[in-house]
Amino acid sequence: MTIESGDTAQDGSAASAAVTERSAETREAILTAAERLFAERGMSPVSNRQIGAAAGQANNSAVGYHFGSRTELVVAILRRHAAPIERRRAAMLAGLDTTSQLHDWIRCLVQPLTDHLADLGHPSWYARFLAQADIEPALRRVMVDNAAASPTMGQVVDGLCQLLPALPEHVHAERGAMSRQLIVHTCAERERALHEGGPTAHPTWQATATGLVDAIVGLWLTPVTPA
Amino acid sequence: MTIESGDTAQDGSAASAAVTERSAETREAILTAAERLFAERGMSPVSNRQIGAAAGQANNSAVGYHFGSRTELVVAILRRHAAPIERRRAAMLAGLDTTSQLHDWIRCLVQPLTDHLADLGHPSWYARFLAQADIEPALRRVMVDNAAASPTMGQVVDGLCQLLPALPEHVHAERGAMSRQLIVHTCAERERALHEGGPTAHPTWQATATGLVDAIVGLWLTPVTPA
DNA sequence: CCTTGAATAAGACACCCGACTTAGCTGGTC
DNA sequence: GACCAGCTAAGTCGGGTGTCTTATTCAAGG
Q: With an 8 Å Cβ cutoff, is B144 touching chain A?
A: no
Distance separating alpha carbons of residues B219 and B167, to the nearest angstrom: 13
Whether the beta carbon of A19 falls within 7 A of nucleic chain D: the reply is yes
Q: Residue B12: its pLDDT value, please?
A: 36
Contact state of B177 with A186 under an 8 Å Cβ cutoff: yes
Choose the closest CB to B135 out of A132, A182, A217: A132
Helix axes B102-120, B205-221, angle to 10 degrees: 150
Q: Residue A63: its pLDDT value, please?
A: 94
- Residue A181 pLDDT more than 90? yes
| Contact indicator for B156, B89 with CB cutoff of 8 Å | yes
Q: Residue B16: its pLDDT value, please?
A: 55
Q: Residue A9: its pLDDT value, please?
A: 38
Q: Residue B18: its pLDDT value, please?
A: 54
Q: Which has the closest alpha carbon to B121: B205, B33, B27, B187?
A: B205
Q: With an 8 Å Cβ cutoff, is B182 touching chain A?
A: yes
Distance separating alpha carbons of residues B129 and A137, to the nearest angstrom: 11
| B111 pLDDT tier (thresholds 50, 70, 90) | very high
Whether the beta carbon of B17 falls within 7 A of nucleic chain C: the reply is yes
| Distance of A64 CA from D18 C1′ (whole Å) | 9
| Angle, vertex CA A149, rays to CA A146 and CA A150, nearest 5 | 100
| Distance of B61 CA from D17 C1′ (whole Å) | 21
Q: A161 in helix, strand or coil? A: helix
Contact state of B192 with A224 under an 8 Å Cβ cutoff: no
Q: Residue B10: its pLDDT value, please?
A: 36
Over residues B213-225, the pLDDT tens digits come to 999 999 999 999 9
Within 7 Å of a protein beta carbon, the nucleotides of strand C are: 5-12, 16-21, 26-29
Q: Residue A14: its pLDDT value, please?
A: 40
Q: Residue B1: its pLDDT value, please?
A: 43
Distance separating alpha carbons of residues B206 and B117, to the nearest angstrom: 10
Give the nucleotide nearest to A46 (CA→C1').
D17
Nearest chain B residue to A137 by CA: give it. B41
Contact state of A135 with B137 under an 8 Å Cβ cutoff: no
Q: Residue B138: its pLDDT value, please?
A: 78
Q: With an 8 Å Cβ cutoff, is A40 touching chain B?
A: yes
Report the percentage of chain A scoring pLDDT > 70: 92
Q: What is the pTM of this model?
A: 0.89
Contact state of A211 with B174 under an 8 Å Cβ cutoff: yes
Q: Residue B20: its pLDDT value, please?
A: 73
Nearest chain A residue to B184 by CA: give it. A181
- Residue A4 pLDDT more than 80? no
Contact state of A189 with B177 under an 8 Å Cβ cutoff: yes
Whether the beta carbon of A16 falls within 7 A of nucleic chain D: the reply is yes
- Closest Cα in chain A, distance from residue B170 (Å): 5
Q: With an 8 Å Cβ cutoff, is B164 touching chain A?
A: no
What is the four-CA torsion angle of B18, B20, B21, B22, rounded to 10 degrees? 90
Within 7 Å of a protein beta carbon, the nucleotides of strand D are: 5-12, 16-21, 27-29
- Residue A81 pLDDT more than 80? yes
Please report the sign of the dihedral spanned by the C-alpha atoms of residue A129, residue A183, residue B41, residue B43. negative
- Residue A13 pLDDT more than 50? no
Mean per-residue pLDDT for B100-119? Answer: 96
| Burial call A53-67: b when 16+ CB within 10 Å, e when fewer | bbbebeeeebbebbb
| Contact indicator for B39, B77 with CB cutoff of 8 Å | no
Report the percentage of chain A scoring pLDDT > 90: 75
Q: Which has the closest alpha carbon to B202: A174, A164, A223?
A: A174
* Residue B169, φ and ψ in degrees, nearest 5: -55, -45
| B14 pLDDT tier (thresholds 50, 70, 90) | very low
Contact state of A202 with B170 under an 8 Å Cβ cutoff: yes
Q: Residue A5: its pLDDT value, please?
A: 40
- Residue A51 pLDDT more than 50? yes
Q: Which residue has the higher pLDDT, B18 or B199?
A: B199
| Distance of B220 CA from D27 C1′ (whole Å) | 63
| Angle, vertex CA B47, rays to CA B41 and CA B48, nearest 5 | 125
| Distance of A5 CA from C3 C1′ (whole Å) | 29
Mean per-residue pLDDT for B2-17? Answer: 42
Contact state of B218 with A213 under an 8 Å Cβ cutoff: no
Q: What is the DSSP string of B60-111?
A: TTHHHHHSSSHHHHHHHHHHHHHHHHHHHHHHHHHT--TT--HHHHHHHHHH
- Residue A217 pLDDT more than 90? yes
Over residues B140-192, the pLDDT tens digits come to 888 888 888 899 999 999 999 988 888 999 999 999 999 999 999 999 999 99
- Residue A119 pLDDT more than 60? yes
| Distance of B218 CA from C2 C1′ (whole Å) | 75
The count of C-alpha atoms lying within 13 angstroms of the C-alpha of A223, restricted to the half-sphere facing its C-beta, is 4
- Residue B2 pLDDT more than 80? no
Q: Which residue minimizes Cα–C1' distance to D4?
A: B14
